[in-house]
Structure 1
Amino acid sequence: MKNILIALLLFAVFILGWLSETRLRKKMFTKLLSFERKGQKSKYFQLLEAPVAKICLSARSRELLKLDYFLTYGDIANVKKIVSKFIKKPSNLTKNNNLLIRLMRSYVLFLEKNDQESILKLENYLKVNCKTAEIEKEIDQLHRVYLEPDQNLLAELNNQLKVANEPQQKLIIYDRLIKASESLGLNKQAKEYLLEMKKVANKTIKLEEF
Structure 2
Amino acid sequence: MKNILIALLLFAVFILGWLSETRLRKKMFTKLLSFERKGQKSKYFQLLEAPVAKICLSARSRELLKLDYFLTYGDIANVKKIVSKFIKKPSDLTKNNNLLIRLMRSYVLFLEKSDQESILKLENYLKVNCKTAEIKKEIDQLHRVYLEPDQNLLAELNNQLKVANEPQQKLIIYDRLIKASESLGLNKQVKEYLLEMKKVANKTIKLEEF
Question: TM-score w.r.t. structure 2 length?
Answer: 0.99
How much has 1:199 moved relative to structure 2? 0.9
**CA displacement, residues 78-133 of structure 1 (integer Å, 9 cap, x when unaligned):** 00000000000000000000000000000000000000000000000000000221
- What's 1:145 paired with? 145
Compare 83-92 and 181-190 and name the one that shifted more.
181-190
Q: Distance in 2 between matches of 1:132 and 1:9?
A: 46
Q: How many corresponding residue pairs?
A: 210
After superposing on structure 2, the runs of 4+ consecutive aligned residues of structure 1 that deviate more than 4 Å are: none
TM-score by structure 1 length? 0.99
Instruction: State yes or no: 1:50 paired with 2:24.
Output: no
1:42 Cα offset (Å):
0.3
Identity fraction in percent: 98
Which secondary structure does the structure 2 equivalent of 1:121 belong to? helix
User: How many angstroms apart in 2 are the aligned matches of 1:135 and 1:113?
Assistant: 21
- Structure 2: stretches of 5+ with no match in the other structure: none
Q: Distance in 2 between matches of 1:199 and 1:72?
A: 25
The alpha carbon displacement at 1:195 in A equals: 1.0
SS of structure 2 residue aligned to 1:168: helix
1:141-169 C-alpha deviation (Å, 9 max, x unpaired): 00000000001100000000000001110
Which runs of 5 or more structure 1 residues have no equivalent in the other structure?
none
> In 2, distance between residues paired with 1:108 and 1:7?
52
Q: CA deviation at 1:136?
A: 0.8
- What is residue 92 of structure 2 aligned with on the other side? 92
Q: Following the alignment from structure 2 to structure 1, what is the Cα–Cα distance between the partners of residues 86 and 205?
A: 35
